[in-house]
Amino acid sequence: MQFTGAFTALVTPFKNGVVDEERYRELIEWQIEQGINGVVPCGTTGESATLSHEEHREVIRICVDQAKKRVPVLAGAGSNNTKEAIDLTRFAKEAGADGALLITPYYNKPTQEGLYQHFKAIAAEVDMPFILYNVPGRTGTNMLPCTLARLFKDIPQVKGVKEATANLTQVSDIIEQCGPDFQVLSGDDFTVLPLLSLGGCGVISVVSNIIPDKMAGLCKAFKDGDIATARKLHFDMQGLCRAMFIETNPIPVKTSLAMMGKISLEMRLPLVPLMEQNEKTLRSCLQSKGLL
């Protein structure tokens, strides 16, 4: 399975404290209609940290059912508890997901050997494609290129990484050490184009929740060798990318989708609504891009 192009790290819509299945299905359908290359339920943007295990499974099940194999589903299934990660990954496979997105254990701050043993243990129990997820800003741990190379060499399930450091030197080192068959996806919307130029294969994106056509268009243009169009889309999206991180993700992107009429504005504590001034700034940005 190749995880290439633009994948959306889907938000999880809520209504009255529960998952809003109707709006979630509508959002997935709109993403596919707009040309997105794949979808990711239960990632950071999907508020996986505040989903119960039952809700986590339900969100994956809904996503797989709605996608109907038209685009790949890369299901968030990681945890800082290895046993829990095994259970969630096993469910993702049983539900029909095409791959599992596995975050490095957070808060525990494992060593590089601990990271290796964590993913090795999951692979011993579940046989499906893994995309590992390196986001030190959230987890407190940076998975080094040499560790990724070791995992790729030793564990057949490991197919690539969502690299969310925005560190292009590290991206270069990963591709150098792991080789061209290792799939490197950007986890940072600001650096998709430079990552592709180094040999990356796509992005797992926040901003594509609201502009799936443009992020998919950037990846396609680059693949087709149309660098001028890819560069134009890169700069066209930068303002929106900044707006999506005006406060903690996914607060701005859920607010944007609510302003666009696609979901209800509801998050779970400890996430709270945007500050008033930031909401005005966000609205102005969306209006300037013709999204409202």
Residues that are catalytic: 133, 162
- The single-letter code of the amino acid at 166 is A
Rg over CA atoms, the chain? 18
Contacts (Cβ under 8 Å, ≥6 apart) of 226: none
SS (H, E, C) the chain: CCCCEEEEECCCCEECCEECHHHHHHHHHHHHHCCCCEEECCCCCCCHHHCCHHHHHHHHHHHHHHHCCCCCEEEECCCCCHHHHHHHHHHHHHHCCCEEEEECCCCCCCCHHHHHHHHHHHHHHCCCCEEEEECHHHHCCCCCHHHHHHHHHHCCCEEEEEECCCCHHHHHHHHHHHCCCCEEEECCHHHHHHHHHHCCCEEEECHHHCCHHHHHHHHHHHHCCCHHHHHHHHHHHHHHHHHHCCCCCCHHHHHHHHHCCCCCCCCCCCCCCCCHHHHHHHHHHHHHCCCC
